[in-house]
Amino acid sequence: MKKILIQIVILAVVVGSAWYGYRFFQSMPQRQQQVATTKVRRGDVIVRSFTRGEVRAVRSVTLVAPNLFGTVQVTELAELGSFAREKDLVVGFDDSEVNSRVEEKQLEIDQIDEQIKKAEADLAIRNNQDQVELLRTRYSVRRADLEVKRNELLSAIDAKKNILNLEESKRRLTQLESDIRSRLEQAQAEMAVLKEKKNKAKLELNRETQRLSQVKLLSPMSGLVAIKQNRQGGFFFPGMQIPDIREGDQVQPGMAIADVLDLSELEIVAKVGELDRANLKDGQDVIIQLDAVGNKKFSGKIKTMSGTASANIFSGDPGKKFDVVFSVDMKELLTGLGAKPEQIRKVLETAEQNRKKPVSPQMQAMSMASMGGAPPGSGMAPGSGMNMMAPGGASGGDPGGSDGQPRQRVMFGGPGGPAGAQRVSPEDRQKMQAAMAKILNGRNPQDLSAEDRAKMGEELRKVMAGGAKPSDGKGKRGGGPGGPGAMPTLRPGQFSEKDLANAKLPPSVEADNQLDVLLRPGLLADVEIIVEKIPDAINIPAQAVFEKDGKQIVYVKNLNRWDERPIKVAKRSESTMVIASGLTAGETIAMADPNAKPGDKKKDKGAAASGSPMGGMGGGAK
């Protein structure tokens, strides 16, 4: 019996040892699992934000196809990437139909002139005949009157005949005068009809002549030519190759044909996450590094920021981000690109001239006058975009408009005038609104006649150009070379006949030395934003902060175990946390949850508190 008990005890010990060895073997991977750690640091922390953006021109002009009331076919087109100087021909359209209609209207006016001459001659002849007939009738009345005076010497029957003859002559005279007046009024009505037909033909001729002046689209400023894609068909699918507009293509009126991009002043448009947006403000310094010039960095500043976030459904990122525009120090940029001092001076002078051009406010003044005082700045119902299309291949939405970005972008509907409103700065918008209020003087813009609206547009153009003060609508208007209240002969966006006749296409890319084209819109750039510098701060990586039960915690190493410790965050960026309390410098903390078991597929509730969807953003500690 004793042997049996000893054997049972030995067997139990062996089984227990085997089970303990099995459990020990099973726990060995967990025990051997290594957890990444880092030290709590103390030092100066520079909170940085990083983003990636795209270079674009500050000023750009979109040339759109005019309404020629017929086939709009491209016959001349500047080469893609060529550099157009001011008043260079960018797009030319077929003018054969317009010329044919101009000749027809001119022939119609000549025919009406001949009809008017014939009607005037017939009227003159008829008037002479009527005057002779009227004289003869009046003579008959006078003779009958004399015969009545002899009635005392005649018999009663002859006297009665004389009285009847006098009455008959007077009736004939009255009837003749009435007929002459009726014929004269009828002739004048026919003349008025012919004159109205002539006026109508003249208006149509002027309209066709105006269309004829729109068959050539000239560049209003020096810039790079970017040809638009031909989206004439309207049927597209992902991956479809859309060709650029070429000579011979037929386009629809109002369709964007080309962009002219002013390369004398560039900016960078990018997007930032919501955490970084709270730390940014206008005027902050940034460091820009272009992919095309990877070994150099350039200075810049935050120019404008959008007030609302937006998401791009085609980017695959569901998070909403804020648009930010960065200005670039053009002198430093051109120097870094190897431009000569003379070239830099020329580019900076061009930028200054383009800023001072009165095209933008004048275009707005004309647009406001034509819309009866509708406030500008909301973009076109315009194609705008006019949604406002991104220039030169720029992707994403234009941050202008609703977020108040003063990007100067104009759309010309040919030389005949603007195709829609243009975005301007809030200062210019307030200036125009104040000028309009003073000009209207309490009147309703909708009640103004076409002539009054034209006068108001002229007043606004003078005010925005800085040449005159707005009148109150009561005094006399200042006269120019064309007399009091004369409209200028050259409207904004319109070129003279001499300019249109002498316009030539810009030289091709191969023939041009391209000295003015040092950078092209659409290039990518990395932007580093220095948000804040915090001296002598305790900081840890954002990856080491976890959330548990609504509190932010870290795992601090204590000998062979990990202790949970709540912390209080003072500042945060995408990669660095500045700690207000809870940690001391030199402590070891875990970069991952040390209590997580291998193979656990559940999502870690302790996600990093930085939480911004912008993976490209970051911060650094110093």
- Is pLDDT of 24 > 90? no
Q: Whole-model pTM?
A: 0.57
pLDDT score recorded for residue 465:
60
- Is pLDDT of 213 > 80? yes
pLDDT-wise least confident of 32-46, 207-221, 513-527: 513-527
pLDDT-wise least confident of 28-37, 95-104, 342-351, 449-458: 28-37
pLDDT score recorded for residue 121:
93
Q: How many CA atoms lie within 13 A of 7 on its CB side?
A: 4
pLDDT score recorded for residue 274:
79
As a whole number of angstroms, the distance between CA 209 and CA 211 comes to: 5
- Is pLDDT of 413 > 70? no
Class of residue 280 by CB neighbours under 10 A (exposed 0-12, middle 13-18, buried 19+): middle
Residue 304 · residue 403 · CB < 8 Å? yes
As a whole number of angstroms, the distance between CA 411 and CA 215 comes to: 16
Query: Average pLDDT in the 304-321 region?
Result: 77
Residue 9: which pLDDT band, with cuts at 50, 70 and 90? confident
Residue 380: which pLDDT band, with cuts at 50, 70 and 90? very low
How many other CB atoms are found less than 10 A from the CB of residue 428? 18
Residue in this structure with the two tokens 């979109």, named with its chain if needed? 62
As a whole number of angstroms, the distance between CA 428 and CA 464 comes to: 8
Buried/exposed 458-495: b ≥16 CB within 10 Å, e otherwise = bbbbbbbeeeeebbebeeeeeeeeeeeeeeeeebbbbb
Residue 169 CA, chain-centre distance (Å), reads 80
Residue in this structure with the two tokens 């975005």, named with its chain if needed? 423
Residue 479 · residue 486 · CB < 8 Å? yes
Please report, as a single letter, which amino acid is at residue 106: Q
Of residues 618 and 499, which shows the higher confidence score?
Answer: 499
Taking alpha carbons only, the member of 101, 57, 542 closest to residue 268 is 57
Percent helix, strand, coil in the chain, to 5, is 35, 25, 40
Q: Where are the beta strands (DSSP E) in 329-400?
A: none
Residue 449: which pLDDT band, with cuts at 50, 70 and 90? low
Please report, as a single letter, which amino acid is at residue 458: E
Query: Average pLDDT in the 122-130 region?
Result: 91
As a whole number of angstroms, the distance between CA 254 and CA 63 comes to: 9
pLDDT-wise least confident of 152-161, 344-353, 459-468: 459-468
Residue 62 CA, chain-centre distance (Å), reads 9
φ/ψ (deg, to 5) at 443: -80, 155
Query: Average pLDDT in the 19-27 region?
Result: 69
Q: What is the CA radius of gyration of the chain?
A: 43
Q: Three-class SS of residue 493?
A: coil
Query: Average pLDDT in the 252-273 region?
Result: 88
Residue 201: which pLDDT band, with cuts at 50, 70 and 90? very high
Q: Three-class SS of residue 501?
A: helix
Question: What are the structure tokens assigned to 238, written together?
Answer: 């992902």
Q: Which tens digit of pLDDT belongs to each residue from 169-180?
A: 899 999 999 999
φ/ψ (deg, to 5) at 259: -110, 140
- Is pLDDT of 63 > 60? yes
Residue 513: which pLDDT band, with cuts at 50, 70 and 90? low
As a whole number of angstroms, the distance between CA 555 and CA 500 comes to: 76
What interhelical angle do 426-440 and 359-370 show, nearest 10? 50
- Share of residues in the chain with pLDDT > 70 (%): 71
Residue 103: which pLDDT band, with cuts at 50, 70 and 90? very high
Residue 63 · residue 93 · CB < 8 Å? no
pLDDT-wise least confident of 112-116, 268-272, 416-420: 416-420
- Share of residues in the chain with pLDDT > 90 (%): 14
Residue 305 · residue 324 · CB < 8 Å? yes
As a whole number of angstroms, the distance between CA 20 and CA 28 comes to: 12
- Is pLDDT of 242 > 50? yes
What interhelical angle do 359-370 and 450-465 show, nearest 10? 160
As a whole number of angstroms, the distance between CA 178 and CA 186 comes to: 12
Residue 4: which pLDDT band, with cuts at 50, 70 and 90? confident
Q: What is the DSSP letter of 236?
A: -
As a whole number of angstroms, the distance between CA 398 and CA 380 comes to: 13
As a whole number of angstroms, the distance between CA 169 and CA 300 comes to: 102
Q: Three-class SS of residue 284?
A: coil
Query: Average pLDDT in the 407-426 region?
Result: 45
Q: Which tens digit of pLDDT belongs to each residue from 538-559?
A: 989 888 899 888 889 999 988 8
pLDDT-wise least confident of 266-275, 359-368, 459-468: 359-368
Q: Which tens digit of pLDDT belongs to each residue from 247-258?
A: 888 888 888 899
pLDDT score recorded for residue 113:
93
- Is pLDDT of 487 > 60? no
Query: Average pLDDT in the 525-546 region?
Result: 86
pLDDT score recorded for residue 423:
45
pLDDT score recorded for residue 447:
63
Q: Which tens digit of pLDDT belongs to each residue from 555-573?
A: 998 888 888 899 998 887 6
Q: What is the DSSP letter of 417?
A: S
- Is pLDDT of 378 > 70? no
pLDDT score recorded for residue 135:
92
As a whole number of angstroms, the distance between CA 458 and CA 470 comes to: 10
Residue in this structure with the two tokens 């933008």, named with its chain if needed? 360
Class of residue 176 by CB neighbours under 10 A (exposed 0-12, middle 13-18, buried 19+): middle
Residue 335: which pLDDT band, with cuts at 50, 70 and 90? confident
Residue 614 · residue 575 · CB < 8 Å? no
pLDDT score recorded for residue 616:
33
Residue 194: which pLDDT band, with cuts at 50, 70 and 90? very high
Residue 189: which pLDDT band, with cuts at 50, 70 and 90? very high
Length of the chain as a residue count: 622
Q: What is the pLDDT of the chain when averaged over all its residues? A: 75
Buried/exposed 247-278: b ≥16 CB within 10 Å, e otherwise = eebebeebbbbbbbbbbbbbbbbbbbbebbbe
* Strand 483-484, strand 568-572: pairing: unpaired
pLDDT score recorded for residue 151:
85
